[in-house]
């Protein structure tokens, strides 16, 4: 038993060391993009129902480090501020599949071909979904809404501090929970599942892709945290093409995503969204398995045997330590925040031990969602504080003379589903 535990811990450490340097570098790039990418570009080039707007949406979305839940408010905000429905769908499909952080981690753990194919697949599926939406939703009316006050959260000050805060505080908060879960699952797979498991049970080819789709579509997994799981699955015999299906469908879909898209864009758009993603992932999976050289996708990650020797061991270790500290900081801070919530006072001086109103909000699945909802509500008049809980889909609001209709409209503008008063 002790040997199994030691093997598990060793696998966990090896995986963390392999991905930490690239993940930290990806976080830094994400901070630079967030702070210095002009936000007016998001609206200026996406407003028409044509090929160029759909292409622009995919190109803008691919490098952004937003997961399938974090991309929803951004995509819906684009739509509400004038982007065409096709452009918005293209953005929603392309963005969560990849990002600068996940591309670098993919390169480190799965090799350069996978790192190059992921953004190409994201671009093609985004284009397909956007163009199909424009084709079949031609007569749909687009109602422009006024920019919401919370949009200021997308315009941080252009300083080094803003870059570092977003890169190593907000980004870590967004993916910490799921990154840890991904690493724990990957280490378990590495120890518990025999080598060549998938080939021995013939879970490859089209059958394997369909099975992976059924499992991946309703579940939440972010683009970065899916990589260590994928790396181990490749070692265990899962075909590279089936692996790509997992890397595309897992990050781009989950139950909350589908609910929010159906509510904001309509069921027909949701069908197009899923059809483009499913058909695109299977197409690229089949191309990899049957038309590209097998040696491009040979497993490069070995437990204890590191292919990427150009990175010194001290850098791997120090990066892993820093990543661990950042994640630990997030969890400790989260615990203290929850402990102190019931003892604090809002800016207007009244106790927040008992909420003035509690509402249902669906579509929140991560820390980014939580922060966005809380910030948006606190920007409203008469609201002193708001505490969101993605796990229960509830938000406690503290204030006076609250207008439920206005609160519901704010939640909708933020890109989430208002479920009424609890």
Query: How far apart are the C-alpha atoms of 403 and 61, rounded to whole Å?
Result: 35
pLDDT computed for residue 350 by the predictor: 47
For the chain, residues with pLDDT lower than 50 are 139-155, 302-309, 342, 344-352
The answer to whether 98 and 118 are in contact (CB under 8 A) is: yes
Query: How far apart are the C-alpha atoms of 126 and 238, rounded to whole Å?
Result: 26
- The interaxial angle of helices 71-80 and 255-265, nearest 10 deg, is 10
pLDDT computed for residue 77 by the predictor: 66
pLDDT computed for residue 254 by the predictor: 72
pLDDT computed for residue 309 by the predictor: 44
Query: How far apart are the C-alpha atoms of 387 and 341, rounded to whole Å?
Result: 9
CA 23 from chain centre, in angstroms, equals 14
- Answer positive or negative: Cα dihedral of 307, 312, 317, 318: negative
pLDDT computed for residue 290 by the predictor: 92
pLDDT computed for residue 68 by the predictor: 64
User: What does pLDDT average to over the chain?
Assistant: 80
The answer to whether 135 and 106 are in contact (CB under 8 A) is: no
CA 92 from chain centre, in angstroms, equals 11
The predicted-structure confidence for 23-82, as pLDDT tens digits, reads as follows: 888 788 777 877 776 656 655 677 677 898 899 999 988 988 776 666 776 777 677 667
Beta bridge partners of 399: 383
Query: How far apart are the C-alpha atoms of 371 and 183, rounded to whole Å?
Result: 25
The answer to whether 257 and 249 are in contact (CB under 8 A) is: no
pLDDT computed for residue 278 by the predictor: 94
Query: How far apart are the C-alpha atoms of 83 and 183, rounded to whole Å?
Result: 37
pLDDT computed for residue 40 by the predictor: 63
pLDDT computed for residue 282 by the predictor: 95
Closest CA to 410 of 79, 148, 155, 154: 148
Compute the half-sphere exposure of residue 388: CA atoms within 13 Å on the CB side of its CA.
Answer: 24
pLDDT computed for residue 150 by the predictor: 35
Q: What is the pTM of this model?
A: 0.72
CA 291 from chain centre, in angstroms, equals 30
pLDDT computed for residue 81 by the predictor: 65
Number of Cβ atoms within 10 Å of the Cβ of 189:
18
H-assigned helices in 37-152: 40-44, 51-61, 71-80, 85-97, 100-110, 112-136
Compute the half-sphere exposure of residue 161: CA atoms within 13 Å on the CB side of its CA.
Answer: 1
């Amino acid at each position: 038993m002790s040997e199994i535990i030691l093997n598990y811990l060793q696998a966990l450490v090896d995986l963390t060391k392999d991905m930490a340097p690239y993940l930290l570098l990806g976080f830094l790039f994400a901070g630079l993009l967030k702070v210095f990418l002009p936000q007016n570009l998001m609206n200026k080039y996406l407003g028409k129902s044509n090929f160029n707007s759909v292409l622009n949406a995919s190109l803008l979305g691919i490098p952004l480090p937003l997961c399938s839940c974090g991309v929803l408010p951004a995509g819906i905000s684009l739509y509400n501020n004038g982007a065409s429905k096709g452009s918005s769908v293209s953005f929603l499909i392309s963005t969560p599949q990849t990002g600068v952080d996940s591309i670098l981690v993919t390169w480190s753990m799965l090799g350069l071909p996978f790192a190059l194919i992921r953004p190409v697949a994201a671009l093609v599926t985004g284009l397909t979904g956007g163009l199909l939406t424009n084709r079949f939703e031609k007569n749909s009316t687009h109602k422009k809404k006024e920019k919401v006050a919370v949009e200021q959260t997308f315009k941080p000050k252009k300083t080094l501090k803003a870059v570092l805060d977003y890169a190593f505080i907000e980004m870590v908060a967004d993916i910490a929970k799921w990154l840890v879960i991904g690493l724990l699952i990957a280490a378990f797979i590495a120890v518990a599942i025999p080598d060549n498991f998938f080939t021995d049970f013939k879970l490859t080819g089209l059958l394997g892709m369909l099975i992976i789709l059924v499992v991946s579509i309703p579940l939440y997994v972010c683009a970065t945290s899916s990589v260590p799981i994928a790396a181990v699955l490749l070692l265990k015999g899962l075909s590279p093409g089936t692996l790509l299906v997992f890397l595309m469908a897992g990050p781009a879909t989950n139950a909350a995503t589908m609910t929010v898209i159906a509510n904001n864009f309509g069921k027909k758009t949701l069908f197009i969204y899923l059809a483009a993603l499913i058909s695109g992932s299977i197409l690229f999976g089949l191309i990899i398995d049957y038309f590209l050289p097998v040696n491009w996708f040979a497993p490069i990650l070995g437990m204890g045997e590191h292919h990427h020797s150009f990175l010194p061991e001290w850098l791997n270790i120090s990066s892993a330590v820093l990543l661990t500290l950042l994640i630990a900081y997030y969890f400790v801070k989260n615990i203290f925040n929850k402990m102190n919530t019931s003892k604090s006072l809002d800016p207007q001086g009244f106790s927040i031990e008992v909420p003035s109103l509690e509402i249902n909000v669906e579509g929140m699945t991560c820390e980014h969602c939580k922060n966005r909802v809380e910030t948006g509500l606190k920007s409203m008049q008469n609201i002193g504080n708001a505490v969101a809980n993605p796990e229960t889909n509830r938000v406690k609001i503290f204030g006076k003379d609250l207008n439920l209709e206005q609160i519901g409209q704010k939640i909708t503008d933020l890109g989430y589903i208002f479920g009424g008063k609890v």
